[in-house]
Each structure stands twice: as C-alpha cells, then as structure tokens.
C-alpha cells in the first residue's frame, strides 16, 4: 500500500492512501477550492485571497459621455452617471 495514492475530491491533490482519511478530514474542514483559479485555499483566507489575487484588474471603468461602462469577466453593465459633472 506504500505506493498507492488517491485523489482528494476537495482539493484535487494526490494523497498517499495511508494518509488519505486524515487528509480528507482536515481538507474538508479547512480548505475550499477558489472558483477563479481552482487552487485550494484556507476557508479563513478566501476573501483575502480573492481580493489580492483576482479582484485587481477585474473591473475596468471607462467614462463615455454620460454613462460609465463597467466591464467584468462575467458581464457588461451600463450605469447612468448623470450625477457626474
């Protein structure tokens, strides 16, 4: 059994079968896959990870006349900016 490995369904890492049960219990309790980069991240650090790694450069604002175009990786929205002089 020394050379046997199993893939963890939570973090998708290859783990030695001898340690799999302990790894899986720890992994399910403390880690989550980031939906953007699919890297295992501690649950307690997910917000910080997303803000530092993915939020920067995700939204661009272009001023065009009386509207702001917000371009994200998921959608494009126009918002009225009549309050911008």
Question: What DSSP string describes 21-45?
Answer: HHHHHHHHHHEEE-TTT--EEEGGG
Dump pLDDT digits (tens) for 35-60.
Answer: 889 999 999 999 999 888 887 655 54
Domain boundaries defined on the chain:
5-55
Return the CATH class of domain 5-55: alpha beta
List, in order, residues 6 or more apart from 2 with CB less than 8 Å away: 16, 18
Q: What is the pLDDT of residue 77?
A: 37
How far apart, in whole angstroms, are the C-alpha atoms of residue 47 and residue 44?
8
Tell me 14's DSSP state: E
Its pTM surpasses 0.75: no
List C-alpha distances in Å: 85 to 9, 69, 81: 53, 16, 8
């Amino acid at each position: 059994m020394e050379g046997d490995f199993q893939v963890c369904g939570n973090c998708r890492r290859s783990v030695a079968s001898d340690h799999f049960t302990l790894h899986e219990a720890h992994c399910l309790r403390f880690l989550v896959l980031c939906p953007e980069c699919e890297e295992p991240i501690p649950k307690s650090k997910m917000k910080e990870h997303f803000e530092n790694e993915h939020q920067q450069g995700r939204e661009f604002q272009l001023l065009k006349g009386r509207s702001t175009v917000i371009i994200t990786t998921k959608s494009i929205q126009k918002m009225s900016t009549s309050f911008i002089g």
